[in-house]
Amino acid sequence: MDRIRKVFERALAAHLPGQDLALERPKSGEQGDLAFPCFHAAKASGKNPAQMAAELASQIHLGIEGAQLIAAGPYLNLKLRPEARAREVLGGLLSGKPYGAGEPNGQKIIVEYSSPNIAKLFTIGHLRSTMIGHGLVQVHRFLGYDVVRLNHLGDWGTQFGTLLAAYKTWAEKENSDLTKDFEWAEEIPEKRRTPLFRLFQLYVRFHDAEKENPEMRDEARKWFRELEQGSAEARRLWTWFREISLSEFQRIYDRLGVGFDTLEQGEAFYEPMLQAVLQRLTDHGLLKEGEGGAKIVDLSDVGIETPMVVQKGDGASIYASRDLAQVTYRKEAYAFDRCIYVIGGEQILHMKQIFACMEKLDPWFKGRLTHTPFGLVRLPEGKMSTRKGNVIFLEDVLDEAAERVAAIIQEKNPDLPDKAAVAERLGMGAVIFFNAMNDRIKPITFEWNRVIALDGDTGPYVQYAHARICSVLRKAGDEWSAMAAPGPHDSRETALVPFPECGVPADLKGLEAPEAQSLLFELAGLPSAIRVAREQLMATSIARQLLAIARSFSGFYTNCPILAADNSPEVRDSRLALCVATARALRQGLFLIGIEAPEEM
């Protein structure tokens, strides 16, 4: 559709020089394939939009075979005749080139996402940053950007003082791996009895004990000071706790198919740079004394009333100072065009302060730093927090998703080969799709029936449509099913494996039915959904487009027999070609969100 879009834009530009010519997609293929809303242009020339649409329809001659221009109220619609639409869309999807991909554009984008804290477990809230970030990585790469994937691990800060103090108080004498011979409370399930969970428990226990004995805080402070000053014992324990955490995090990242270019650039990495950061603030006259000897930066002149604290009264470093160092370092190390931070909405003020302060220090940063906030995940009962008892651990959610899918498979398709592996792929698909499909900013409520349902707006529904097409293609023969399978796809993270080139059948009359036409229309919407995902900084538009494609496939499948004995070979081949195109679009779209597309389920 890109070629047609360009011709249309050029024709419009010739008639309306200097106007904003943004094209839209009509609501349905009945109306057309592309729409030009005449509101702005009409206003500029003092006309009424409907009159302008009608004039343009009679004046413009596109010279594209099978394309007609139709005025519909204030819109000028370009509509392809059935055969032309089929040729255009199939041509794009069967060429073998990823559909809607961009050429390398030389722009470097950093995406920082996930960024969990050491010694805590992933909760369902971490799913959002991790998967929104992964989607942004995929979409930017696909569109031709050079992407750096970073994880700002929370591996430094006063909470490590707490952890060290807790370990020293209760666990040091136990044993070397924290779990051997440890008497777990009965309610802790077997799979949770890990070193990481032990650390997490110690941390929580210290917080609770501290409520009774506030002087325990001094012990925690002392340990953080030791860590900052490089005491060998503090450093050794820190390294160990960090390793314990990373190995468990890695297990979750593997299940989600997510990776990073390095895990070495967490908060601790910036510790040696903090003095220079404070010095730079001083040199620019930005560092002020705050309450109790704290050091602050006043940002009220740029409309931020809350001053940013960059050092505590006792001289301890603080989250914000490590963020200032991080931005500074990334400019030097990566000379990025844009750095996107996928961090929850509760840190909006913090990020505003960091960005404003960096722009004061160096105007180079203006327009290059983007915070992509997101809303909380709630359970039907209420908010979740690490401190309270009602936390939902991400791993439990992932396990339950796979178990629920396994039960459905057991009921519907007990003979499926490799059932457990398929259940895992569908389970992850369900959870990842649920995140992608929901608005980024609004809080979302996690309810199983909205996550898994095979007939709802879910990942498994889209995966099922894909598997069903693969099964039709298998029945049609090897040469057809080879067209939808891009070879091994064991890692979701590597680039999309290209599909083989597949010719567009000469006769496309089998695709004139309205159901085939509306499927073609939805397929054509994928490239713009991908562009929108980049603009909106979340893959929601892609998830929704996949649902639209899967739904219209179902209409096509019900109404247009594909392998029926009384079909002519031409009708059969054109419909199989549409199946191949649809399978490719679904697989590609799922890949961009970070979801696998099994061929059988």
Nearer Cβ to ligand ARG, position 128 or 141? 128
Nearer Cβ to ligand ARG, position 115 or 317? 115
Q: Is 22 exposed, middle or buried (0-12, 13-18, 19+ CB in 10 A)?
A: exposed
User: What sign has the CA pseudo-torsion 338, 341, 347, 353?
Assistant: negative
Are β-strands 377-378 and 444-445 bridged in parallel, bridged antiparallel, or unpaired? parallel
Residue 264 tokens, joined = 């070495």
Nearer Cβ to ligand ARG, position 116 or 290? 116
Of 323, 395, 596, 599, the residue at the interface with ligand ARG (CB under 6 A) is 323
Nearer Cβ to ligand ARG, position 120 or 468? 120
Nearer Cβ to ligand ARG, position 4 or 320? 320
Q: Is 221 exposed, middle or buried (0-12, 13-18, 19+ CB in 10 A)?
A: middle
Closest CB to ligand ARG: residue number? 154
Residue 59 tokens, joined = 């004046």
Nearer Cβ to ligand ARG, position 111 or 502? 111
Give first-to-last CA distance, the chain, whole Å.
33
Enumerate residues 6+ apart whose C-beta is below 8 A from 133: 111, 112, 113, 114, 149, 342
Nearer Cβ to ligand ARG, position 339 or 586? 339
How far apart CA 144 and CA 335 sit, in angstroms, is 17
At its nearest, how many Å lie between ligand ARG and the CB of residue 204? 16
At its nearest, how many Å lie between ligand ARG and the CB of residue 150? 9
At its nearest, how many Å lie between ligand ARG and the CB of residue 115? 4
At its nearest, how many Å lie between ligand ARG and the CB of residue 113? 9
Please state the separation of Cα 466 from the chain's center in Å. 21
Encoded one letter per residue, x for contact with ligand ARG by CB under 6 A and - for no contact, window 84-123 reads: ----------------------------x--xxx------
At its nearest, how many Å lie between ligand ARG and the CB of residue 396? 19
Burial of 525-541, coded b for 16+ CB within 10 Å and e otherwise, reads: bbbbbbebbbeebbbbb
Q: Is 261 exposed, middle or buried (0-12, 13-18, 19+ CB in 10 A)?
A: middle
How far apart CA 534 and CA 229 sit, in angstroms, is 43
How far apart CA 238 and CA 221 sit, in angstroms, is 15
Neighbour count for residue 489 (Cβ, 10 Å): 16
- For residue 314, CA distances in Å to 43, 267, 311, 366 come to 62, 20, 8, 33
Encoded one letter per residue, x for contact with ligand ARG by CB under 6 A and - for no contact, window 265-304 reads: ----------------------------------------
Nearer Cβ to ligand ARG, position 204 or 513? 204
At its nearest, how many Å lie between ligand ARG and the CB of residue 117? 5
Tell which positions 399-438 bind ligand ARG, by CB under 6 A.
none
At its nearest, how many Å lie between ligand ARG and the CB of residue 354? 8
At its nearest, how many Å lie between ligand ARG and the CB of residue 153? 7
How many chain residues are in contact with ligand ARG, going by CB under 6 A? 10
Please state the separation of Cα 294 from the chain's center in Å. 38
Nearer Cβ to ligand ARG, position 159 or 545? 159
Nearer Cβ to ligand ARG, position 117 or 517? 117
Nearer Cβ to ligand ARG, position 201 or 326? 326
SS3 content of the chain, % helix, strand, coil (to 5): 55, 10, 35
Residue written as tokens 């083989």? 500
Of 152, 440, 466, 587, the residue at the interface with ligand ARG (CB under 6 A) is 152
154 binds ligand ARG (CB under 6 A): yes
At its nearest, how many Å lie between ligand ARG and the CB of residue 152? 4
Tell which positions 565-584 bind ligand ARG, by CB under 6 A.
none
How far apart CA 6 and CA 319 sit, in angstroms, is 48
Element holding 86 (H helix, E strand): helix 82-94
How far apart CA 85 and CA 525 sit, in angstroms, is 12
592 binds ligand ARG (CB under 6 A): no
At its nearest, how many Å lie between ligand ARG and the CB of residue 570? 57
Tell me the β-bridge partners of 150: 112, 262
- For residue 319, CA distances in Å to 112, 279, 289, 305, 322 come to 16, 17, 18, 19, 5
Nearer Cβ to ligand ARG, position 343 or 431? 343
Nearer Cβ to ligand ARG, position 326 or 328? 326
Phi, psi of 338, deg, nearest 5? -150, 140
Residue type, 65: E
* Residue among 369, 345, 344 at smallest CA distance from 356: 369
155 binds ligand ARG (CB under 6 A): no
CA dihedral (88, 90, 91, 95) in degrees, to 10, reads 160
Nearer Cβ to ligand ARG, position 173 or 387? 387
At its nearest, how many Å lie between ligand ARG and the CB of residue 326? 6
At its nearest, how many Å lie between ligand ARG and the CB of residue 157? 9
Of 109, 343, 467, 485, the residue at the interface with ligand ARG (CB under 6 A) is 343
How far apart CA 515 and CA 189 sit, in angstroms, is 51
At its nearest, how many Å lie between ligand ARG and the CB of residue 268? 12
At its nearest, how many Å lie between ligand ARG and the CB of residue 116? 6
Nearer Cβ to ligand ARG, position 372 or 540? 372
At its nearest, how many Å lie between ligand ARG and the CB of residue 318? 12
Burial of 125-134, coded b for 16+ CB within 10 Å and e otherwise, reads: bbbbbbbbbb
Residues that bind ligand ARG (CB under 6 A): 112, 115-117, 152, 154, 323, 326, 341, 343
